[in-house]
């Protein structure tokens, strides 16, 4: 029951800008990238995009997981820079800074986010 409540609360927070009449910039801050196999939302917070660096977030246990990436738009390459596990009170409880190159796939959450980021920076071909 506790997990379902957190899931509903999390999804409610994601949809809040859509329910209320916020300015367009607030509505575009969180972009839905799909769901995990467990049905939890995966999203990109556009406020945290820095050049071609970005992070995607999703529920994980009672907290949240945030994966940080760097895109090489011109080469269609994607690099995972770090993974953070964040507790329900917002504290980073675990962090993996192992860098890894991932194959770009347009259907994955990271691939969808990369497309958005590369379009924002005006990279050719995106």
Inside any domain, residue 126: no
Judged on CB neighbours under 10 Å (0-12, 13-18, 19+), 39 is exposed
Inside any domain, residue 57: yes
Inside any domain, residue 68: yes
Q: For residue range 16-62, what is the model confidence (pLDDT) as tens digits?
A: 444 444 455 545 588 999 998 888 999 999 988 999 999 999 988 88
Inside any domain, residue 88: yes
Write the secondary structure of the chain as one string of H (helix), E (strand) and C (coil). Answer: CHHHHHHHHHHHHHHHHHHCCCCHHHHCCEEEEEECCCCCEEEEEHHHCECCEEEEEEEECCEEEEEEEEEEHHHCEEEEEEEEEECCCCCEEEEECCCEEECCCCCCHHHHHHHHHHHHCCCCCC
Counting the structural domains of the chain, the total is 1
The whole-model pTM stands at 0.75
Q: For residue range 46-105, what is the model confidence (pLDDT) as tens digits?
A: 988 999 999 999 988 889 999 999 999 999 999 999 999 999 998 999 999 999 999 999
CATH number, domain at 57? 2.40.128.710
Question: Which tokens sit at 4?
Answer: 């379902």
Inside any domain, residue 90: yes
Inside any domain, residue 125: no
Inside any domain, residue 70: yes
Domain span at 90: 2-120
Inside any domain, residue 76: yes
């Amino acid at each position: 029951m506790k997990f379902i409540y957190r899931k509903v609360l999390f999804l409610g927070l994601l949809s809040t800008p859509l329910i209320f009449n916020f300015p367009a910039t607030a509505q575009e801050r969180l972009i839905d990238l799909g769901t995990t196999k467990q049905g939890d939302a995966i999203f990109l917070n556009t406020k945290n995009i820095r050049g071609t660096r970005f992070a995607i977030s999703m529920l994980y246990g009672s907290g949240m997981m945030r994966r940080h990436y760097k895109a090489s738009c011109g080469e269609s390459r994607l690099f995972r820079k770090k993974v953070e596990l964040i507790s329900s009170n917002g504290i980073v409880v675990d962090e993996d800074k192992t860098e890894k190159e991932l194959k770009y796939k347009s259907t994955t959450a990271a691939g969808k986010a990369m497309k958005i980021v590369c379009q924002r920076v005006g990279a050719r071909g995106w």
